[in-house]
Amino acid sequence: MRLIYIIGLFTLCLTAFLKPTTSQATHVRAGEITTRRLPGTASTYLITLTAYYDEQRGRDAANAATEVPFCFGDGTSQSVPRARRVYINGNTSSVNSYTVIHTYPGPGTYTIGATIVNRNEGTINLPPPGSSSNISFYVATTILINSALQVNSTPVMLNPPLDSARVGQKFCHNPAAFDADGDSLAYRLSTPRQGSSGNCRSQVIPVYQDPTRYSVSREDGSSPATFTIDPVTGDLCWDAPGQVGQFNFAFIVEEWRNGVLIGEITRDMQIIVVDQPNKRPLIAGAELCVEAGTLINQAIQATDPDGQRVIITAYGGPFNINSDGNPLPADLQIAPEFARLINGGVALPQPATATFSWQTNCNHVRAAPYDITLKVSDVTGSRAVPSLVSFATLRIRVYAPSVKNVTARPTATASGRAIQLNWNPYTCGRIANSGGLSDTTELIIYRKEGCTQYNPQICETGLPASLGYQRIGSVPYTATSYIDTSALRRGVSYSYRIVARNPGLASNGGFSVASNEACLELPLLAPVITQVTVDSTDTQRGQITVRWSRPLGLQPGDLGAPYQYRLQRATGLTGTNFTTIATINTNIQPGVADTLYVDRGSSVSALNTTANAYRYQVEFYYTAANGQLTRLDVTEMASSVRLSAAPAQRRVTLSWQANTPWSNDNQTHDVYRSRSGPAGPFNKIAEVRVQGSPYTFTDTGEDTFVADGNTSRVLSADSSYCYRVMTRGQYTDTQLVGFNPIINYSQIICATPTDTTRPCAPVLGLDSLNCANLTNESLCDQTSFTNKLRWQLTTSPSCDPNVVSYKLYYGRYQQDEPAELVSVPAPTTSFDHTNLTTVAGCYYVTAVSRSGVESLPSNRVCNDACPLFVLPNVFTPNGDGKNDVFAPLRCPRFVEQVDLIVYNRYGSKVYEGSSSAGLAWDGKSSSGSDLPSGLYYYQVTVRYAVLDRNAATQVLKGWVQILREGVSMR
């Protein structure tokens, strides 16, 4: 034995309360940290380290491990005493619990860590051999404290992390993680860590080696070997161990809620790999989906290839049993009924069958499934041959039952028509909540138009979106009725279904199966609008005729007479600013014209049918017993047909729509056109079968209805065309089909087609210089030039001949993209480009149509300059006004810049200058003094105003003689 100390991850200032203990320096095999928020508190947690000790080679060390230092992640730490020690696996290992209550300062993310010295000896993948006992054991758990999370506990690992594996066979382990809150769990591999002495830090064990390093191949002989974890089920598999020995590895269980990561737990575990002829047993999983209240009796079957007896066990939250065999804490338990595994835990002969039995109830309902980890181990009958195990998952989803016996009947409220729903009291709402939270179960009311045959399948909760139901309200689960007053229309069948949601905590609730359908058609006691048609289109004197029916099912003498219609109007397709425009008293006697009104507007409110659609409704009043007119009901709102036009290339696209209680879909609409303006005459040009508002039609000038005359002719961009549309609609309700078809006209609208056809491109010519024919005196002393351009317009059947102007484009250099120079009206086909400093430049011309469409460019023509620059060899700068400067001989042409350098006969530079005005050297030096008579050498560099921007300069070299002293040259 040797002396060691249990060293925690905390600062040295806290070492006063640490107690050194004597131990065998080899005992920790596996472990993890779990947390549970205590009821009625916001940030107080019960924190538990579950550690698995080697009781064979490290009994003394396990005895001495009476406390472990915890770091809470908030800057504090504490030495936590052992609360419980339970022996497992024939007393070869023990499960040790270290439990502490800790209150955090407030919301935040905290990582809780614990370090134990030391790991047990002999772990192969923590080399070198014999060193694992010198490596500390560290695990950590991260929690998120947030008031929005309400209650929260980390998942607990119900399956101990100690198993045996065989060389060459695939090994799997499942932690049987159970989250009492129903949060989603995800799994990923990690690397074992060790704590740092004297502080709250940890690090990855640097000598750790992946288990596949100790593999040859997979169980089926293929390569490479794999070491993986299923992110959904948590099945950790090594396929396959290739070496006898003890191995440690780690993985992380993530906890997710509503798409947010709210915590994670690291489990560090250990397995023993043996090399025996024994083969692992096999066990089958299953998936179940049951309604709360169902008694589950699911057979679990297992076999062993060696024919040995097997022991079937199971782990999961419904058993209410922790990994050490003791009951789960009360607030994590399934209530009131827990599950049992009949014939579980005993040796069974082949074929082996155990029965998973669980009486479900409403407390068990949640969105997340329950994962039951099934484990089978073989009974080898010899201590020399370790038992092997296999795992499978029994996944069970418990959903809430449907709301029963939903019925619907018509009723009335102060706001008008209504439908009342009733149903049986909901049987799955009283939930035993933890944390003192109230039940959040609610019943959601859904509605759609039309009855729908739909029978939910097993485990099909909620309502599929494809059915078209819309949520219209919700009530507490204790309610047994609901009154729907939201935009109900007479003559329409309404289908209702109810779904219960969240029967339990907000984090683990789910949807129930949909209820039976309650379908009802409201009786028609109100009038029905049967026409809204535009008679006249005008900004001030528009006219619309509105027709409606008498109240269906109402006979003279019913209720109290007299009766009254109040016609109301609003502006726009969806307008709601209704005002009464007509009041009509009636006794609803046959033959009386009391259901028609021609709306011409008024002096106060003109009817602008040119700019607006209008919407109408009719209120119906009866005389109550007290003699007061009382509103019985109001019609559905119906608008006029609104037509719009979009001009295009020699065509016009029309679109129209209306907002009505009848349907204009799948009907034939008539399109009318006038070539003579809004006063007509109008000819029907098409019958259009329409579907899906807004409806559209494109007029290309063709007339497909010739009974009233054939007006087919290509549409012109020079003309305006006027249109109106006649719609046909129908009520689908059987009580209203007698009003079909419902005929309405739109307003009149006029439009002019566009024309994007290009004119043909012109052919351009230019009077250019002929440099070969120029003499030295040509263009003498000329400083302003003119380029004369002429063009011709080409023609083609595909071109627009209506040319109204031409655009001429010019670029000074041939490298330039010509820019617009001038626009000239047609029929002009020439242009003189004057006041140029050089004739050099390029041109093209385009034609422009009456519609403003420009042709493609013509051919490109260019003119170039004819340079000329000749120098004398003597000049007399004596001030007599004759030959006083060194300048080019007569008539230099198109010179843009001249650079001059002069040297004396000794090679010294005496003058250098540059000018864009030409060359005129006065015989002075660069300093301004007169140079003496004599012979001088020059270099002249000339840049010409030619077409090429990058044209090379001309360099002239020679001599010139300066003569002074009264010498004059004539």
State pLDDT tens for residues 895-913: 999 999 999 999 999 999 9
- 199-209 confidence digits (pLDDT tens): 788 999 999 99
Rounded to an integer, the average pLDDT of 494-502 is 90
Round to whole Å and give the CA distance between 398 and 362. 9
Round to whole Å and give the CA distance between 716 and 700. 10
Measure the CA dihedral 640/641/646/652, to 10°.
-140
| Burial grade of 765 (CB within 10 A; 0-12, 13-18, 19 or more) | middle
- What's this model's pTM, rounded to 2 decimal places? 0.51
Task: Give 245's pLDDT tier (boundaries 50, 70, 90).
Answer: very high
Round to whole Å and give the CA distance between 95 and 32. 11
* Res 415: pLDDT: 59
Round to whole Å and give the CA distance between 665 and 729. 7
pLDDT higher than threshold 60 for residue 20: no
Task: Give 553's pLDDT tier (boundaries 50, 70, 90).
Answer: low
Residue 381 vs residue 167, higher pLDDT: 167
* Res 900: pLDDT: 95
pLDDT higher than threshold 90 for residue 624: no
Task: Give 802's pLDDT tier (boundaries 50, 70, 90).
Answer: confident
Task: Give 322's pLDDT tier (boundaries 50, 70, 90).
Answer: confident
Give the distance from CA 328 to its chain's centroid.
43
Rounded to an integer, the average pLDDT of 244-254 is 95
Summary mean pLDDT of the chain: 87
Task: Give 486's pLDDT tier (boundaries 50, 70, 90).
Answer: confident
Spatial contact of 769 and 865, defined as CB atoms under 8 Å apart: yes
Phi, psi dihedrals of residue 152, rounded to the nearest 5°: -165, 135
3-state SS assignment for residue 331: helix
pLDDT higher than threshold 70 for residue 432: no
The proportion of the chain whose per-residue pLDDT surpasses 70, expressed as a percent, equals 93
pLDDT higher than threshold 50 for residue 2: no
* Res 736: pLDDT: 84
Quote the tokens at residue 384: 């020399």
* Res 326: pLDDT: 80
| Burial grade of 670 (CB within 10 A; 0-12, 13-18, 19 or more) | middle
Round to whole Å and give the CA distance between 263 and 431. 26
* Res 281: pLDDT: 92
Spatial contact of 772 and 820, defined as CB atoms under 8 Å apart: no
pLDDT higher than threshold 50 for residue 505: no
pLDDT higher than threshold 70 for residue 316: yes
* Res 532: pLDDT: 98
* Res 19: pLDDT: 34
Residue 418 vs residue 435, higher pLDDT: 418
- 851-861 confidence digits (pLDDT tens): 889 999 999 99
User: Which residue from 176, 174, 162 is spatially nearest to 92, judged by alpha carbons?
Assistant: 162
Angle at CA of residue 859, ends 855 and 862, nearest 5°? 130
- 611-622 confidence digits (pLDDT tens): 999 999 999 998
* Res 879: pLDDT: 86
* Res 386: pLDDT: 79
The Cβ-side half-sphere exposure at 376, using a 13 Å CA radius, reads 28
- 582-599 confidence digits (pLDDT tens): 999 988 777 777 899 999
Round to whole Å and give the CA distance between 854 and 848. 4
* Res 437: pLDDT: 46
Specify the length of the chain in residues.
970
